[in-house]
A and B are shown apart, each in its own frame.
Chain A
Amino acid sequence: DIVMTQTPLSLSATPGQPASISCKSSQSLLHSNGNTYLYWHLQKPGQPPQLLIYEVSNRFSGVPDRFSGSGSGTDFTLTISRVEAEDVGVYYCMQGLQLPITFGQGTRLEIK
């Protein structure tokens, strides 16, 4: 199984300031078709997860442009350029390269 490791596991951010989360996979997520199957989901309090970023750096429909994803191979980063109060929740990276699909442990973002 591919192991996904996120750091940090908790994050306290100041509104208007940037924040970033790292995700490392135990093997490359690059498929032979050239796509890299790394995703980011956000689970707001009391809600189901929602997709933010797919294939490393593509924002899902309706996701604000303050969210961006980057990385390649085994190292990935989710960046929030200017944190807002509505961004609180738990962020999960996920790999979709091979079964079983696996998630990182989650990073809890709180607002200072």
Chain B
Amino acid sequence: EVQLVESGGGLIQPGGSLRLSCAASGFTVSSQYMSWVRQAPGKGLEWISVIYSDGSTHYAESVKGRFTISRYNSKNTVSLQMNNLRAEDTAVYYCARSLTFGDTAPGYWGQGSLVTVSS
């Protein structure tokens, strides 16, 4: 069974940094495309980053240069390093896995981790 468990969220001041982790089970993260998708309070879904099985990464313009997605094969985890956080980054952050190999689109979702950027 595919399971994704996010951790690392919390309250952080504007300009600060935070690292989210996504622990995967039921598959190996290196064999699938792994994404982060966020949802601001009361708003819709926004894709922000993906790491492909070959290790290449892509980002939404809204986070490019500030966020970094990484993969740790030995721990079967994916992380999202978030720097220079802004109030508009406040959201629930979901880790997601592609449905099948080669398919970028999220098919499996974690429970989410809330990040609040506020002074």
Contact = CB atoms under 8 A, between A and B. Distances in A.
Interface of A: 37, 39, 41, 43, 48-51, 54, 60, 92, 94-96, 99-106
A48 B109 contact: yes
B103 interface: yes
A49 B94 contact: yes
Interface in B74-109: 94, 99, 103-109
B104 to A, nearest CB: 5
Given A48-B112, A99-B58, A100-B60, A105 B44 contact: yes
Interface residues of B, number: 22
B47 A102 contact: yes
A40 to B, nearest CB: 11
A48 B94 contact: yes
Give the secondary structure class of A's interface: strand
Contacts of A96: 103-105
B99 A50 contact: no
Tell me which of A48, A60, A103, A106 has the highest count of chain B C-beta atoms within 10 A of its own C-beta.
Answer: A48
A43 B47 CA distance: 15
18 contacts: A39-B107, A48-B94, A48-B109, A48-B111, A51-B106, A51-B108, A54-B105, A60-B99, A94-B105, A99-B50, A99-B58, A100-B58, A101-B47, A101-B50, A103-B45, A103-B47, A105-B44, A106-B44
